[in-house]
Amino acid sequence: MTQVNPRTTIRKRLKQSLKKTCSVNVLKKRLPIIQWLPKYSIDFLIQDIIAGITVGLTAIPQGIAYAVIAGLPPEYGLYASLTAGFVYIFFGSCKDVTVGPTAIISTMTAKYASYSIDYAILAAFLTGASILLMGIFKLGFLVNFISMPVISGFTTAAALQIAASQLKAFFALSGSSGNYFAESIVNFVQNIKTAKIWDPLLATVTIIMLYLLKRIGNGCKRTDGFAKKTRWFVSLARNAVVVVFGMVLAYIFKVTTDTEPFVLIGDIGGGLPKVGLPPFSTVSGNVTETFPDMLAKLGPQFIILPLVAILESVAIAKAFAEGGVVDATQEMIAVGLCNLIGSFVQSMPITGSFTRTALNYASGVKTPAGGFTKCLLIIVALSLLTSTFYYIPKASLAGLIITAMFNMIDYEIFSRLWRKSKIEFLLLIMTIIVCLFAGLEYGIVAGIMLEGLMLLYRTSVPPLQVHKAKSDTGELITLSLCDSLSYCAAEHIRSMILKASQQAESDSIMVVDGTNLQKMDSTVASNLMILVKDFDKQNRNVIFLNFKTELRDLCIDIHPKAESKFVTTASILDLVKSVPKSV
Residue 581 has pLDDT above 50, yes or no: no
- What is the mean pLDDT of the segment spanning 217-241? 83
Do 363 and 255 fall into the same domain? yes
Do 61 and 207 fall into the same domain? yes
Residues of the chain with pLDDT > 70: what percent?
92
Residue 519: CATH number of its domain: 3.30.750.24
In tens, the pLDDT along 151-200 reads 888 888 888 888 888 899 899 998 877 777 888 899 899 999 999 999 99
Sign of CA dihedral 380, 382, 388, 392: positive
SS3 470: strand
Under 8 Å between Cβ of 153 and 434: no
Do 493 and 385 fall into the same domain? no
Do 474 and 393 fall into the same domain? no
The average confidence (pLDDT) of the chain is: 85
In tens, the pLDDT along 284-302 reads 777 889 999 999 988 887 8
* Boundary (domain end) residue, out of 393, 408, 423: 408
Which of the pair, 141 or 283, is modelled with greater confidence?
283
Do 533 and 391 fall into the same domain? no
Residue 25 has pLDDT above 80, yes or no: no
What total number of domains does the chain contain? Answer: 2
* Boundary (domain end) residue, out of 408, 436, 451: 408
Residue 140 has pLDDT above 50, yes or no: yes
Under 8 Å between Cβ of 120 and 374: no
In tens, the pLDDT along 267-282 reads 887 788 899 999 999 9
* Boundary (domain end) residue, out of 408, 426, 444: 408
Under 8 Å between Cβ of 302 and 119: no
Confidence band of 76 (pLDDT split at 50, 70, 90): very high
Do 81 and 172 fall into the same domain? yes
541 lies in a domain? Answer: yes
449 lies in a domain? Answer: no
Where b means 16+ CB within 10 Å and e means fewer, 261-283 reads: bbbbbeebeeebbeeeebbeebe
506: domain range?
465-577
How far is CA 426 from its chain centroid? 20
Do 99 and 193 fall into the same domain? yes
Do 560 and 476 fall into the same domain? yes
Do 211 and 86 fall into the same domain? yes
198 lies in a domain? Answer: yes
In tens, the pLDDT along 30-43 reads 888 898 888 888 88
323 lies in a domain? Answer: no
pTM equals 0.76
171 lies in a domain? Answer: yes
- What is the mean pLDDT of the segment spanning 251-265? 90
278 lies in a domain? Answer: no
166 lies in a domain? Answer: yes
420 lies in a domain? Answer: no
Residues 6 or more apart whose Cβ sits within 8 Å of residue 135: 329, 330, 331, 332, 333, 336
